[in-house]
Amino acid sequence: MTTAVRAEQATKIYGSGPTEVRALDGVTVAFEQGRFSAIMGPSGSGKSTLLHCIAGLDELTSGKVFIGDQDLGQLNDRELTLLRRTRVGFVFQAFNLVPTLSASENITLPLDIAGTAVDSDWFDRVIDVLEIGDRLSHRPSELSGGQQQRVAVARALASQPDVIFADEPSGNLDSKSGAHLLEFLRLAVDEFDQTIVMVTHDPVAAGYADRAVFLEDGHIVDEIDAPTAEAVLDKIRTLEV
């Protein structure tokens, strides 16, 4: 199986001296293409930091990150921006959408910014799968939280990126909408062969993934293949003890 994203000895240090925080401490991990991977861990364990660094949003203090064969450390700001635009999709916990644009404009935003034509067949399939076809002309403020997050997923999918990074995508949703959203992410992987890396601290969310890696104090401490919510919970308990 090919690797979509990997980190080698990734270390991220915030601050210096007595206030120094090692958010990531020599993390080596790889995420396979076409799979749904979850990064699990307690709050403050370095999940978001890892996600940001492997997504080209932040720079490592030391170590390397690759998307495909591309070493992100070799890229300048502009090249990183273009990489994010074409090869990466994002779903954040909240505030994913530009409030002045309609849902469909938000979905095609990365393509529009790049000046690339929208593949309308693909667009139709994505909105069909995400069930947001009747919401396309609405502004974000007119959408429910779940709908907003689905629009965000559609946006991430629209440019057919190599990998989608999601940081607690269901974190702000009620459990029903959250479950719905995770099903859609699952669907994106199954239907479109999309690669997704998702950060979550919720065992139920991790249950939708193909694989879960466990982070603690900036270290990878364990991982499970084909996790279920129960398996993840068990693992967390064992890790905590």
Partner 1 sequence: MLRATLKGLLGHKLRLALTVLAIMLGTGLIAGSYVFTDTLDRVFSDLFSQSLAGIDAQVTGDVSEELSTFTFPERLPESLVDEIAALDEVEAAVGTVAGLVTLIDPNGEALGGFGPPTIGTSWSDVASPLTVRDGSAPIGDQDLVIDASSADRLDIEIGDEVGVIALGEQERFEVVGTIGLGGSSNFGGATFVSFTYAAAQQLFDAAGFVDTISVVGAGDISPEALVAAIEEIAPENTSVVDAATAAEEQLSGFKEALGFVNTFLLAFGYVSLFVGGFLIFNTFQVIVAQRTKELALLRAIGATKRQVRRMVLVEAFIVSVIGSLLGVVFGVVLAIGIRAAFSRFGGEIPATTPQVLPRTILIAVLSGVIVTVFSALVPAYRASAVPPIAALRQVTARPTSRLFRIVMIAGSVISVLGTGVIAAGLFLDPPEQIPRAAFVGVGAALLFIGLAILSAAFARPLGRTLGAPIRAAFGAIGRLATENAVRNPGRTAVTSAALMVGVALMVFVTILASSLSATTDKLIADTFKTDLVVQPIGFGAAGLSPQIADRIESLDEIEDVVRLRQGPMLVEGDVEFVSASELAKIENAIDIEVVAGDLASVGADGVALSENAASDLDVGVGDTLDVEFARTGEQTLTVRAVFVEAGPGGNIYLDLEGYRRNFTEDFDQSLFVKFDRSFDSAAARSAVEDVLVDFPGTTSLDQSEFADQAITGIRGFVGLVYALLALALVIAFVGIVNTLLLSVIERTREIGLLRAVGSTRKQIRRMVTWESVIIAVYGALLGSVVGIVLARALVEALDTDEIVFRLPVLQIVLAVVLAMIAGVIAAIYPAQRASRLNVLEAIAYE
Ligand X SMILES: Nc1ncnc2c1ncn2[C@@H]1O[C@H](COP(=O)(O)OP(=O)(O)O)[C@@H](O)[C@H]1O
Residues that bind partner 1 in the complex, under the rule CB under 8 A: 52, 57-58, 77-78, 81-82, 84-86, 90, 92-101, 105, 108-110, 112-115, 141, 155
99 binds, among partner 1, Mg ion, ligand X, none (CB under 5 to 8 A by kind): partner 1
Rounded to a whole number of angstroms, the distance between the first and last alpha carbons of the chain is 34
Say if residues 6 and 31 touch (Cβ distance below 8 Å).
yes
Residue 81: both structure tokens together: 């921006």
Interface with Mg ion, residue 49, by CB under 5 A: no
Span interacting with ligand X, options 44-52, 116-124, 143-151, 174-182, rule CB under 6 A: 44-52
Give least dist CB 52 to partner 1, A.
Answer: 6
Specify the residue for token string 């190599």. Answer: 162
Interface with ligand X, residue 235, by CB under 6 A: no
CA–CA distance, 126 with 110 (Å, rounded to integer):
15
Give least dist CB 141 to Mg ion, A.
Answer: 25
Beta-carbon contacts of 18 under 8 Å, excluding residues fewer than 6 positions away, are none
Residues 7, 36, 38, 47: which binds ligand X (CB under 6 A)? 47
43 binds, among ligand X, partner 1, Mg ion, none (CB under 5 to 8 A by kind): ligand X
Count other Cβ atoms within 10 Å, centred on residue 96: 20
Q: In degrees, to the nearest 5, what angle opens at C-alpha 236 toward C-alphas 230 and 241?
A: 130
Residues forming the site for ligand X (CB under 6 A): 14-15, 21, 23, 41, 43-49
